[in-house]
Amino acid sequence: MENQEKTPSRKTLLIIAACVLFGLYCSEHLVGVYINTHVLGLADTGICKGNGLSCAAAAKTAFASFFGLFPTASLGLACYATLLLLSAVGIVWPGRTRRLGDTLFAIALLCFLYSCMLAVVSAVWVGTFCPYCTMLYGLNTLLLVVATLGHPEGLKTALRRLFKVPAQSSAWLAFAVMFAASAAAYARYNSQNQEAVAQMAQKAALDAELAKTKGRPTPGDAVLRGFEKAPVEVILFSDFECPYCRKLAATFDEILEEEPGLVRMYFKHMPMSFHKNAEKAAVAAVCAGRQNQFWKMHDRLFASNNALEPEKLPAYAAEIGIDAEAFSLCLDDPTALDVVKKDADEAVKLGVEGTPTFYVNGRKVPGAMPKDRLMNLLREAEKEASAQP
């Protein structure tokens, strides 16, 4: 009769759980690498780029996918999720699952043998190594060591019962979890893949739009917001009386706060002729900029972009601590208006037809967009910038 009490120790199960959490992290990255390589066509970046290292090269091999249907890393996610749940069951209900040590050892051994095969393929066939895969090779080796040393009845017993594992209750639990986790991993991959395809369609549309343009803007004397050395440059043509400009400004504010090192944004004026107060509001922003308060005035004007009558502007300036006398004189200064007209003339020469219109690393993007789409666009630009020599 099987002894249900002989299960791996709590310490062993905790170590296995910690290992598989790292495995989930690496596998998730590998799914992303697969999508970046096969759908987005991106080159290696970060730790994937170096002498003798290439995640993209590994992702292009036949072993990177399951019969071309989805990345093998998705199965890795399912496998590690199964090990995590089995470890949790053993920790919470010790002794309730028959031969848990046998099942953990069997899964760890399969992972180790698969890693050995992939390591040979990388060395002999591909000729380069994927850093994330290499970390998983080491992780799977560690899992086998822990599962072996932590087996309650030792290695010989584990090997002797290896072919009996499929008949054990813990193995049936593992099969059920693996099936469910594989379905969940495939659904997640499919969602990520569709999002990447949508990004490519968006990029194609933006590239087509860029082909129609007559050049790209330069920051010039525009006021900077964000990190000066950020990888993504945004040059924005905007109108303080435009409601869509206000929405886009709020979206950029959120992104700049959440990702302070991602974007360097330059604001340029393009007051539309049918917005009667937009030009004077733009001049007010220029005047505030002369007192190093451009962005405070920018935010204040957008906060009231349906109430920008010229007589209200001095009150807005006072709210943000601008010298009232200097500001009032500046509002009638033709050189301040010239700054606005210079930006607007540049927009016309570039073929900008409406606001908001912004350029992301030179690529023209007309109109506002939801935060998730905008973040995807900025991330894509960041990857392209990092991939450039």
Per-residue pLDDT, 214? 61
Q: What is the mean pLDDT of the chain?
A: 88
Taking the C-alpha atoms of residue 226 and residue 228, their distance in angstroms, rounded to an integer, is 6
Measured torsion, CA atoms of residues 78, 84, 88, 91, in degrees rounded to the nearest 10: 140
Alpha-carbon Rg for the chain in angstroms: 29
Rounded mean pLDDT, 171-200: 86
Residues of the chain by 3-state class (helix, strand, coil), percent to 5: 65, 10, 25
pLDDT beyond 70 at 228: yes
Per-residue pLDDT, 39? 81
pLDDT beyond 90 at 279: yes
Taking the C-alpha atoms of residue 108 and residue 140, their distance in angstroms, rounded to an integer, is 7
pLDDT beyond 90 at 5: no
Q: Which has the closest alpha carbon to 105: 84, 83, 85?
A: 83
Backbone φ and ψ of 8, nearest 5°: -55, 150
Sign of CA dihedral 363, 369, 375, 380: negative
Q: How long is the chain? A: 389
8 A C-beta contact, residue 171 and residue 103: yes
Q: Which residue has the higher pLDDT, 210 or 20?
A: 20
Three-class DSSP category at 132: helix
Measured torsion, CA atoms of residues 154, 156, 160, 165, in degrees rounded to the nearest 10: 30
Q: Which residue has the higher pLDDT, 139 or 152?
A: 139
**Which has the minimum average pLDDT: 133-137, 189-193, 201-205?**
201-205
pLDDT beyond 80 at 205: no
Per-residue pLDDT, 2? 41
pLDDT beyond 80 at 165: yes
Per-residue pLDDT, 206? 66
Three-class DSSP category at 129: strand
pLDDT beyond 50 at 3: no
pLDDT beyond 70 at 207: no
In CATH, what number does 223-387 get? 3.40.30.10
Residue with tokens 């050049």: 215
Residue with tokens 């584990």: 158
Taking the C-alpha atoms of residue 270 and residue 31, their distance in angstroms, rounded to an integer, is 43
pLDDT in tens, 35-93: 888 887 777 777 887 777 888 888 888 888 888 888 999 999 999 999 999 999 888 88
> Which range among 92-101, 209-218, 270-279 has the greatest average pLDDT?
270-279
Which superfamily, per CATH, for 10-198?
VKOR domain (1.20.1440.130)
8 A C-beta contact, residue 287 and residue 336: yes
Taking the C-alpha atoms of residue 281 and residue 269, their distance in angstroms, rounded to an integer, is 10
Rounded mean pLDDT, 277-293: 95
- Domain range summary for the chain, segments of one domain joined by +: 10-198, 223-387
Residue with tokens 């350029």: 359
Could you tell me the end-to-end alpha-carbon distance of the chain, in angstroms, rounded to an integer? 66
The pTM of this model reads: 0.56
Which pair of structure tokens corresponds to residue 184? 């969940």
Per-residue pLDDT, 4? 45
Residue 167 confidence class, pLDDT cut points 50, 70, 90: confident
Rounded mean pLDDT, 297-321: 92
Contacts of residue 195, Cβ cutoff 8 Å, sequence gap at least 6: 376
CA angle 116, 121, 126 (to 5 degrees): 145
Which pair of structure tokens corresponds to residue 208? 């087509």
Which pair of structure tokens corresponds to residue 244? 């869509």
pLDDT in tens, 321-378: 999 899 999 999 999 999 999 999 999 999 888 999 999 998 888 889 888 889 888 9
Taking the C-alpha atoms of residue 1 and residue 5, their distance in angstroms, rounded to an integer, is 12
